[in-house]
Amino acid sequence: MIANLSLIAAVLALAGTSSAATTTTTAATTTATPAPLLTLKPFNGTFAGDYPTTFEVAPTNTTLAKQWIAQYNTANITSLPVVPFTSGGDPKDPNSISADACDWTITNCINKDITVCPIGVWGLTYDDGPTEFSTQLYDYLDTTEQKATLFYIGSNVITNWEAARRACGAGHQIASHTWSHQPSTSLTNEQFIAEIKYTEMAIKEVCGFTPKYFRPPYGDIDNRIRSLLWAMGYTSVIWDYDTNDWQMAPGGTRTLAQVNADFATWEAAASNDTTGHITLEHELYQNTVTAAIDNLPKLAATWKLMPVSACMNDSHPYQETEYQLATMNGVVTGMSSATTSTNTTTSSNTTSTAAAGASGASSTGGKTSGAVAVTGEMKVFALVAAAAAAAAQMF
Ligand SMILES: *[C@@H]1O[C@H](CO)[C@@H](O)[C@H](O)[C@H]1NC(C)=O
Ligand SMILES: *[C@@H]1O[C@H](CO)[C@@H](O)[C@H](O)[C@H]1NC(C)=O
Ligand SMILES: *[C@@H]1O[C@H](CO)[C@@H](O)[C@H](O)[C@H]1NC(C)=O
Ligand SMILES: *[C@@H]1O[C@H](CO)[C@@H](O)[C@H](O)[C@H]1NC(C)=O
Ligand SMILES: *[C@@H]1O[C@H](CO)[C@@H](O)[C@H](O)[C@H]1NC(C)=O
Ligand SMILES: *[C@@H]1O[C@H](CO)[C@@H](O)[C@H](O)[C@H]1NC(C)=O
Ligand SMILES: *[C@@H]1O[C@H](CO)[C@@H](O)[C@H](O)[C@H]1NC(C)=O
């Protein structure tokens, strides 16, 4: 009880600090950010593509959409009914969904979806960006050279392209979260293809690459949606720990203290872990960004933090193979100069930064120098390597 009270006091203190810090951060957005790890092609905010209305279901009758739909016409798409949803995001008739749909919303059924990282590793994911609050999160991540997976909404990439471009260059793993954030199983095959492809087009224009990882909005996925994703070259990522941080929306039902308490519970149980974890967090509201920043040092003291692609040891989370992100072993982040026409940072110049990037903050939560990071990493990497074979069988 005493511990709980002091936790609450600490939370209140942190909340106070954070809002003060917020003001400072906002005023200081023009401070120089670290040099990008990835050199991006020039982009000045003038989109060449013809995009549909933001936050409306992507249209299927445009010239582009028709081309994309025709492209996947012959793919092996699983036939299942479209699932009607209420406006609140729940299936209208859960009983109508057959077991062979392997619908995650209804039964938490998994079919080749990534849900956890190997033991000792925490996959950091932030959904729904980029937003007006993203800069605060990216500033903080830069101070510890921490990288995360960012599941971007295509509509937000159009609006907040500068934040997107910064995150792309920083070597965060950029992944897809659809064009307009509908429950995926409520969309027709054609609509889902258009939602994915318009998002790809936006990310490609801003950053020059195309994601290979996808998170379904609301976790809503079934075998039909999976078959479409596989045809388009995607792996889906769910989570095992849900912070429910989105409920801290202005006027929402959840408090920062409640979110922090969930993190504390997970940390307390870590010694019993049989897997690593992937959290669901959001870069959506001031409160969700505050919660993310408050908890990062504590998580870093317990787990090795990295993007999902890194915990899967995947150095190529983009379809364009010249872009490389760090893996579990801290393999380099950068672009291969052989396959790009733009000048890039060479691998050898980015090794130490990328190693720290893959592994996150040191156990003190402070900024890691290359040498310190490697020393600290060796122990965790041994743990990770031991668990890797077992973990691989799960996917
Ligand atoms: C931005 O870039 C586009 C394409 O490269 C170019 O046509 C346009 O003139 C540029 N606009 C500005 C304001 O620089
Ligand atoms: C596509 O359909 C919408 C809604 O039916 C319509 O308003 C729009 O004009 C159509 N666009 C094209 C390019 O046919
Ligand atoms: C089509 O997809 C289903 C489900 O993933 C799979 O079982 C089947 O082998 C696939 N068929 C072909 C021809 O690839
Ligand atoms: C670990 O599991 C054991 C057995 O269920 C339980 O007694 C113990 O409290 C757990 N430890 C933590 C830190 O949760
Ligand atoms: C690469 O850098 C060199 C030296 O700075 C410059 O001369 C050259 O034009 C650049 N190439 C490209 C493709 O930007
Ligand atoms: C990489 O680092 C080496 C040694 O510090 C330096 O000579 C070289 O110019 C650097 N290359 C780039 C592209 O920055
Ligand atoms: C990660 O991949 C690298 C090669 O890119 C390999 O050397 C290393 O053993 C892999 N690590 C694990 C834990 O699988």
Q: What count of Cα atoms within 13 Å lies in the side-chain half-sphere of residue 304?
A: 31
Q: Is the CB of 46 under 6 A from ligand 1?
A: yes
Atom 14 (ligand 4): residue with closest C-alpha? 269
Q: How far is the CA of 254 from the centre of ligand 6 (A)?
A: 49
Whether residue 117 contacts residue 123, with contact meaning beta carbons closer than 8 Å, is answered with: yes
Task: Catalogue the active-site residues.
Answer: 127, 282
Residue ranges of the chain with pLDDT lower than 70? 1-32, 331, 337-395
Q: Is the CB of 43 under 6 A from ligand 1?
A: no
In whole angstroms, give the CA distance from residue 95 to residue 310. Answer: 38
Q: Domain 111-394 maps to which CATH number in 3.40.228.10, 3.20.20.370, 3.10.129.10, 3.30.70.260?
A: 3.20.20.370
CA 315 vs CA 95, 218, 278, 304, 318: distances in Å? 41, 27, 18, 17, 9
Task: Tell me the one-letter amino acid at 152.
Answer: Y
Confidence at residue 207, expressed as pLDDT on a 0 to 100 scale: 97
Q: How far apart are the first and last CA of the chain?
A: 40
> Measured from the CA of 348, which atom of ligand 6 is nearest?
1
- Where do the structural domains in the chain lie, given as residue ranges? 111-394
- According to the 3-state scheme, what is the secondary structure of 276-316? CEEEEEECCCHHHHHHHHHHHHHHHHHCEEECHHHHCCCCC
Q: Is the CB of 31 under 6 A from ligand 3?
A: no
Task: Tell me the β-bridge partners of 123.
Answer: 278, 306
DSSP 257: H
Whether residue 38 contacts residue 323, with contact meaning beta carbons closer than 8 Å, is answered with: yes
Atom 4 (ligand 1): residue with closest C-alpha? 46
- Write out pLDDT tens, residues 294-315: 999 999 999 999 999 999 999 9
Which helix (H) or strand (E) segment holds residue 119: the answer is none
DSSP 132: T
Confidence at residue 127, expressed as pLDDT on a 0 to 100 scale: 98
Confidence at residue 334, expressed as pLDDT on a 0 to 100 scale: 78
- The burial of 27, by beta-carbon neighbours within 10 Å (0-12 exposed, 13-18 middle, 19 or more buried), is given as exposed
- The burial of 58, by beta-carbon neighbours within 10 Å (0-12 exposed, 13-18 middle, 19 or more buried), is given as buried
Confidence at residue 380, expressed as pLDDT on a 0 to 100 scale: 30
Atom 6 (ligand 5): residue with closest C-alpha? 343
Q: How far is the CA of 68 from the centre of ligand 3 (A)?
A: 21
Confidence at residue 87, expressed as pLDDT on a 0 to 100 scale: 82
Confidence at residue 316, expressed as pLDDT on a 0 to 100 scale: 95
Measured over the CA atoms of residue 26, residue 32, residue 36 and residue 41, the dihedral's sign is positive
> Measured from the CA of 45, which atom of ligand 1 is nearest?
1
Which of 72, 76, 110, 229 most suits a substitution to test ligand 3, by most atoms within 8 Å of the C-beta?
Answer: 76
